[in-house]
Structure 1
Amino acid sequence: MIDLSIKEFLGKLGSAAPVPGGGGAAALGGALCSALCSMVAALTSGKKKYAQYQEDIDRIARETAEITETMENLIEKDAEAFEPLSKAYGIPKEAPNREQVLEEALRVACTAPLEILREACRLVPLLEELAVKGSRLVLSDVGVSAAACAMALRSAALNVYINTKLMKDRAYAENINLETKRLCGEQAVRCESVYAAVEEALTGGNGE
């Protein structure tokens, strides 16, 4: 998936093809966020005005590059997890092993969106730092990154829920749901705060 052009990826996303789907879109949103954060770090690095933050900017650049690569891999992982789930749905309902196979496939299908969610959570404190320490010339890109991160968080959460909803082991499902709701809820609010701060800075007369 990650070797497709943007046009090809969007074409598949908008088609009846089983993948990519919402999980791949969530990971792509996370990758866009981390890549934009890397851009902000790159355009801040070496600037005299932000010299006091240079070590932090270097660290942010390393972390966001790592997260971008992970998000790219998660686009693939999410697509790969759909195949066993699709096969499980194809097992005849009267087959004695159908329920067990489907349950395991649902657990596997939750793995990628949970990882996307956790990786997106790693981006939130970096966004908060860049909103303060990044170049004001690319402050709008920090806001775009915050919006993309919130999208990734919420999209990943929904892709968890669509699988846990069908699980027979409700205790297992509810544990995953609780973690997902906690992470998504807390971190999405922080993303919104970053976005609001950027919006205020851009519209409230606070320039360079």
Structure 2
Amino acid sequence: MLIAMKITEFLEELGSNSPAPGGGSISALAGALGGALTAMVCRLTVGSGKYAEVETEVTALLAEADALSGVLTRYVDADTEAFNKVMAAYKLPKATEAEKLDRSAAIQQAMMYATNLPLEVAACCLKVLTMAVRILAIGNSNAASDAAVAGLMAHAGLHGALYNVKINLGSIKAPGFQQEIQTKMDLIIKEDERLHSELIAVAGKVIG
């Protein structure tokens, strides 16, 4: 498993000539890091008398941040597995017409899976960004820069994941599926733009 590697081992594998892990796994990792940083700021806020008024809200944020970081961590390996499924489908035999049809169907199925997965990564990153913005505004001000970095990591992971959605979507021959995915992407992008602007504005006020 990629996620079980030491950081140096992971970086070595990432920098090799193997196409996976690639941008999809890194996008999931960026989101997971953002989630973990968000959780850290929550933990540095909970239990402090100075922030007693937001204790209940921050406790709820902490639980969600931990959960999302765990989900995104699993997606680091899942993205590479999705890529491998696509490659396996392309390697299916195509000597006969029946084999060609089966291969084509397998490729489309694998591509749809490889499109839905980074879309889910993007959706999770959007949730992390939402929480990072909130904890930046109400959390321990001594960890404000950490909350801001958490939001930036989620923002980067979101856009990285959407690039993977887009590059896979072009290979799918189902117009209905393409439209459905595009609609979901548009909604995610719109909300990300709003939250990213808010992150920068709040960071400017809290950090300077």
Which amino acid is the alignment partner of residue 31 of structure 1?
Answer: A
Of 96, 99, 108 in structure 1, the residue corresponding to residue 101 of structure 2 is 96
**1:140 aligned onto 2:145:** yes
Aligned counterparts, 1:1-208, within 5 A: 1-91=2-92, 95-203=100-208
Q: Kindly indicate whether the alpha-carbon contact (under 8 Å) linking 1:82 and 1:109 is maintained by their aligned counterparts in 2.
A: yes
Which amino acid is the alignment partner of residue 192 of structure 2?
Answer: Q
Aligned length: 203
CA distances 1:101-155 after superposition (whole Å, capped 9, x unpaired): 1111101111321221121122233123212210110111111111111101111
TM-score, length-normalised on structure 1? 0.91
Deviation at 1:195, TM superposition (A): 2.5
> Which shifted more, 35-44 or 127-136?
127-136
Deviation at 1:92, TM superposition (A): 5.7
Structure-1 separation of matches of 2:151 and 2:193 = 9
- For structure 1, the residue ranges without an aligned partner over 5 or more in a row are 204-208
Q: Kindly indicate whether the alpha-carbon contact (under 8 Å) linking 1:143 and 1:199 is maintained by their aligned counterparts in 2.
A: no
TM-score, length-normalised on structure 2? 0.91
Name the % identity.
28
Which amino acid is the alignment partner of residue 52 of structure 2?
Answer: A
> Which shifted more, 66-75 or 8-17?
8-17
SS at match of 2:82: helix
Q: Kindly indicate whether the alpha-carbon contact (under 8 Å) linking 1:117 and 1:184 is maintained by their aligned counterparts in 2.
A: no
C-alpha RMSD of the superposition: 1.6
Q: CA 1:130/1:25 → structure 2, altered by over 3 Å: closer, same or farther?
A: same
Deviation above 6 Å: which 4+ runs of structure 1? none
Deviation at 1:93, TM superposition (A): 6.1
